[in-house]
Amino acid sequence: MATRDSLTQSWLRQNVLPYANKDRVYADIDQALNRFQALRPKSDVYTFDDGRTQLLLCLHGLLPIVYRGASYNIPLNVWVTREYPREPPLVYVVPTADMLVRPGRFLDVSGRCSHEYLQHWQRKDEGCNLTGLLEDLQDQFSREPPVYSKPPPSRQEQERPPPVPARPTVSAAAYQSAPLSPPRPPPRPEGFGPVIQSPPPPPLPPITRGSPSQQATVNRPPTTALNHANVIYSHQPFANPSYPAHSTQIAPPPPPPPPPPPSVVPFGAHGLALHPSAQSSVQVRPNPPPVPPVPIPNLLDEDDESPASPSQQGLPPSTLGPGPAPSHLPPRPPNPELLDLHRQVHHKLTSELHSLSKALALDAERLRAHQNDLLAGEPAIRDEMARLEAVKDVCTSVADRTRSAVQKAETNIAELRRKGDPEVDELVCATSIVHNQLINLVAEDNAIEDTVYHLHRGLNTGRIDLERFLRTTRVLAEEQFMKRALINKIQAGVSVMSPSVRPEWA
């Protein structure tokens, strides 16, 4: 167990690396696995509602609950999002094949859970973790289970008979060669005439008509003979042919009450016991009151591939003798319910086609507008590309000039570093004695000017008296005059003089 736990923890360490808060994710998942032993971690791709897919960690397994004193296990998946714990995990109830989800206030039909704990987590994620979520789900599911057992199939569905096969079209010749011979006569309903037994009719020559399925003898269980009375009702609208003198004679039955509307498919659709050989005694069900006779069609003169007429398909099983053939009956009118259903389907398809055509036209118009915009935008894109190429060329030239200037500056800096720092005297002093004397005279003149200024300020503040100020100023003025006269003489002797050393009073 310890080895398995260590393997699970090492697997978790490797799979929580893509998460922003991987330490918190690892701690919460490990705590949940220790608390609920039936859960297991896995890494799988989760598809969000907007179609995005992401590889997430998932806790899957069984959550034990106690409902009405009995223990149950609820299968669920808990997906841990990448923004965990700022975003709550995604919880799904995953029913098994014999379970169904019970939708509720906090559970939708897809199994997505949105309990109050998750809603509180979305508002404030402090204090929320996987263990608390699973404990809250355990408490909620114990009060209201999220799944229930799938109900077993009903007895009617279990005992539903197989679908009825396609109805074989039995021609009149088949009825001649295979008269009805049920194992035992069904109970005679009230209002019908007695069952009359007739002698066997003379055999007819074999006639080949229809497909093999029409000529085949159909054997059904005896229980299907109970539907024979209903079959007789379903063929009431067809006329009874007038039989020849040598055919079976049936006593005219008393007039029965009006038959109910047809509710059963024509003769031969339900199971009837047909036998290939004629019997010496045939039990014939009495027919409704006869309608005006119609001639029986001559089966020998008809085309073999022509389908049997409705009158032939609906004739009761009796012996038909040779005689004049009646003409074909008019075709049966179409079923009005079927016509109404066809009309509704046609109207539905027409409306759907109209709406689909309209939607496709709108889509085509929108796509055409997009195409026009794209075609119109191509010249603008080309012009913008040309302008950007020009800007690129300008930037390249400016970059080249800047690169050359930087290289020149770096060369000058290297040269200055090679020469070293100059002396102070070289920067202040001139290159000749005359210029050095001129610099000194200008400096002394400026010093005398500053001294007179400060003496004037001292006189104003009362630090020196007027007599002393006048005496000192007179001496300084005479000295300044002599220095300025010498400066003028030097300037007159020097042909070129730098403006930087020209005195302000000059």
| 97 burial level (CB within 10 Å; 0-12, 13-18, 19+) | exposed
Within a domain: 140 = yes
Q: Does 141 share its domain with 16?
A: yes
Within a domain: 311 = no
Q: State how far the Cα of 497 lies from the Cα of 476, in Å rounded to an integer.
A: 27
The confidence band for 294, taking pLDDT boundaries of 50, 70 and 90, is low
The confidence band for 1, taking pLDDT boundaries of 50, 70 and 90, is low
pLDDT at residue 216 is higher than 70: no
Within a domain: 134 = yes
Q: What is the pLDDT of residue 102?
A: 87
Q: What is the pLDDT of residue 244?
A: 36
Q: Does 373 share its domain with 440?
A: no
SS (H, E, C) 224-282: HHHHHHHHHHHCCCCCCCCCCCCCCCCCCCCCCCCCCCCCCCCCCCCCCCECCCCCCCE
**For residue 115, which of 106, 127, 124 has the smallest C-alpha distance?**
106
Q: Can you tell me whether residue 217 is helix, strand or coil?
A: coil
Overall average pLDDT of the 216-237 stretch:
37
The confidence band for 350, taking pLDDT boundaries of 50, 70 and 90, is very high
Q: State how far the Cα of 150 lies from the Cα of 99, in Å rounded to an integer.
A: 5
Q: Does 45 share its domain with 142?
A: yes
Q: What is the pLDDT of residue 427?
A: 75
Within a domain: 495 = yes
Q: What is the pLDDT of residue 209?
A: 38
Torsion of CA 363, 365, 371, 375, to 10 degrees: -170
Q: State how far the Cα of 276 lies from the Cα of 80, in Å rounded to an integer.
A: 76
The confidence band for 289, taking pLDDT boundaries of 50, 70 and 90, is low
Q: Does 384 share its domain with 473?
A: no
Q: Does 433 share its domain with 394?
A: no
Minimum mean pLDDT among 53-67, 82-96, 171-185: which range?
171-185
Query: What is the average pLDDT value for the chain, to the nearest integer?
Result: 72
Q: What is the CATH number of the domain that holds 8?
A: 3.10.110.10
Q: Does 437 share its domain with 461?
A: yes
pLDDT at residue 110 is higher than 80: yes
Within a domain: 41 = yes
Q: Which residue has the higher pLDDT, 323 or 384?
A: 384
Overall average pLDDT of the 246-273 stretch:
41
Q: What is the pLDDT of residue 453?
A: 94
Q: 479-498 pLDDT, tens per residue?
A: 999 999 999 998 888 755 55
What amino acid occupies position 105?
R
Is the overall model pTM greater than 0.85, yes or no? no
The confidence band for 8, taking pLDDT boundaries of 50, 70 and 90, is confident
Overall average pLDDT of the 269-287 stretch:
39
Q: Does 16 share its domain with 94?
A: yes
pLDDT at residue 276 is higher than 50: no
End-to-end CA distance of the chain, in Å? 106
**In the listed set 121, 149, 177, which residue is the last one of a domain according to the structure?**
149
What amino acid occupies position 136?
D
Maximum average pLDDT range among 98-112, 231-245, 434-448: 434-448
Q: Does 367 share its domain with 440?
A: no
**In the listed set 421, 436, 461, which residue is the last one of a domain according to the structure?**
421
Q: 134-161 pLDDT, tens per residue?
A: 999 989 889 888 888 888 776 655 555 5
Q: State how far the Cα of 57 lies from the Cα of 90, in Å rounded to an integer.
A: 11
State the total domains in the chain. 3
Q: What is the pLDDT of residue 295?
A: 54
Within a domain: 348 = no
pLDDT at residue 366 is higher than 90: yes
Q: Specify whether the backbone of 369 is left (phi greater than 0), alpha (psi in -120 to 50) or beta.
A: alpha
Q: Does 11 share its domain with 126?
A: yes
Q: Specify whether the backbone of 111 is left (phi greater than 0), alpha (psi in -120 to 50) or beta.
A: left
Q: What is the CA radius of gyration of the chain?
A: 59
What amino acid occupies position 423?
E
Close Cβ partners of 504 (under 8 Å, ≥ 6 residues apart): none
Q: 169-202 pLDDT, tens per residue?
A: 434 333 333 333 334 444 443 333 433 344 444 4
Overall average pLDDT of the 300-325 stretch:
43
Within a domain: 111 = yes
Provide the b/e sequence for 262-299 (b: ≥16 CB within 10 Å).
Answer: eeeebbbbbbbbbeeebeeebbbbbbbeeeeebebbeb
Q: Does 433 share its domain with 406?
A: no
**In the listed set 149, 181, 209, which residue is the last one of a domain according to the structure?**
149
The confidence band for 207, taking pLDDT boundaries of 50, 70 and 90, is very low
| Helices marked H in 124-249 | 130-143, 155-158, 172-177, 212-215, 228-234
Q: 425-474 pLDDT, tens per residue?
A: 777 777 788 888 888 999 999 999 999 999 999 999 989 899 999 999 99
Q: Can you tell me whether residue 486 is helix, strand or coil?
A: helix
pLDDT at residue 392 is higher than 90: yes
Overall average pLDDT of the 55-69 stretch:
91
Q: What is the pLDDT of residue 428?
A: 76
Q: What is the pLDDT of residue 288?
A: 54
Q: Give yes or no for a contact between 178 and 316, defined as CB atoms under 8 angstroms apart.
A: no
- The domain in which residue 20 lies consists of 2-149
Q: Does 378 share its domain with 467?
A: no
Q: Which residue has the higher pLDDT, 15 or 282?
A: 15
Q: Which residue has the higher pLDDT, 311 or 470?
A: 470
Within a domain: 239 = no
Q: Does 122 share its domain with 52?
A: yes
Q: Which residue has the higher pLDDT, 228 or 504?
A: 504
Tokens representing 394 are 């300008």
